[in-house]
């Protein structure tokens, strides 16, 4: 088992048990300066509620922009209410715009798989429904092949006891979510979901990855 797979397994254990291992490699994460010369690329991730996905990836070094939205359903211009009903077919996702000179797609995929449970079908914790499905939605064949290869490797190493159910497919159409969903955690830190779902997840993430690369 290579180091990357070992680190993912350690992270899975750390989210399953209260005492996280202290010898896990830690990463510093922060936003880039939008005025720098950058090489922009885009990938779309679904990993449960898009407020959680946004909150995590806003802190990743090399990520330029995180936009919550909906994708790969069958209702045109869906509303949040329609998506939450589970009847529109869309997934709650975050569009990740990143500087490929500062962070590689493989690193983003590593963070994606480390920060949610990809073995629960249409569910993350108490968020249940097809809108909360795990998915990597790709913009080109290279992304598709890389994501599928990564998933196959994780499955072959049996990092999780159950098989990965993450959908890996081409992005059909992305609809940007309503304005009040943008920067949701930072704007609503005292809201119940933020305090009791997102904040503990960020705290655990930062304890493992936040000290070296972010100066936290």
Q: What is the pLDDT of residues 51-90, one digit of tens each?
A: 999 999 999 999 999 999 999 999 999 999 999 999 999 9
Q: First and final CA of the chain: distance in angstroms?
A: 30
pLDDT surpasses 90 at 44: yes
Q: Is 84 a catalytic residue?
A: no
pLDDT of residue 36: 55
Query: Chain centroid to CA 24: how far?
Result: 20
Length of the chain: 216
Q: Is residue 4 very low, low, confident or very high in pLDDT (cuts 50, 70, 90)?
A: low
Q: Phi-psi bin for 68: left (phi > 0), alpha (psi -120 to 50), beta?
A: beta
Q: Which of 10, 49, 84, 138 is catalytic?
A: 49
pLDDT surpasses 90 at 17: no
- For range 30-36, the mean pLDDT: 43
Cα separation values, 28 from 6, 66, 147, 167, 208, Å: 19, 18, 24, 29, 10
What the block records as the tokens of 38 is 């950058």
Q: Is residue 37 very low, low, confident or very high in pLDDT (cuts 50, 70, 90)?
A: confident
SS3 of 104, please? coil
For the question of whether the overall pTM of this predicted structure is more than 0.85, the answer is no
Question: Which residue, chain included where needed, has tokens 């108490």?
Answer: 126
pLDDT of residue 144: 98
What the block records as the tokens of 169 is 């497919």
160-210 tens-digit pLDDT: 999 999 999 999 999 999 999 999 999 999 999 999 999 988 987 787 667
pLDDT of residue 53: 97
Which is more confident, 7 or 167?
Answer: 167
CB 63 within 8 A of CB 45: no
- For range 103-121, the mean pLDDT: 94
**List of residues 6+ apart from 76 with CB closer than 8 A:** none
pLDDT of residue 89: 97
pLDDT surpasses 90 at 25: no
Bridge partner list, 70: 92, 175
Structural element, H or E, at residue 54: helix 50-57
Q: Is residue 2 very low, low, confident or very high in pLDDT (cuts 50, 70, 90)?
A: low
């Amino acid at each position: 088992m290579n180091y990357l797979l070992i680190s993912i397994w350690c992270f899975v254990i750390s989210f399953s048990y209260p005492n996280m291992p202290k010898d896990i490699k830690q990463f510093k994460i922060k936003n880039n300066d939008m005025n720098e010369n950058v090489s922009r690329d885009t990938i779309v991730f679904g990993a449960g509620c898009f407020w959680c996905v946004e909150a995590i990836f806003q802190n990743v070094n090399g990520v330029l922009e995180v936009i919550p939205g909906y994708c790969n359903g069958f209702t045109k211009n869906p509303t949040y209410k329609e998506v939450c009903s589970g009847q529109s077919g869309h997934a709650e996702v975050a569009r990740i715009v990143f500087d490929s000179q500062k962070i590689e797609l493989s690193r983003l995929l590593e963070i994606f798989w480390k920060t949610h449970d990809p073995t629960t079908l249409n569910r993350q914790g108490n968020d249940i429904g097809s809108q909360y499905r795990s998915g990597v939605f790709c913009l080109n064949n290279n992304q598709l092949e890389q994501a599928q290869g990564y998933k196959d490797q994780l499955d072959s190493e049996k990092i999780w006891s159950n098989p990965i159910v993450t959908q890996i497919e081409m992005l059909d159409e992305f609809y940007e979510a309503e304005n009040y969903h943008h920067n949701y955690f930072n704007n609503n830190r005292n809201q119940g979901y933020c305090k009791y779902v997102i904040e503990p997840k960020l705290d655990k993430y930062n304890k493992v990855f936040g000290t070296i690369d972010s100066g936290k």
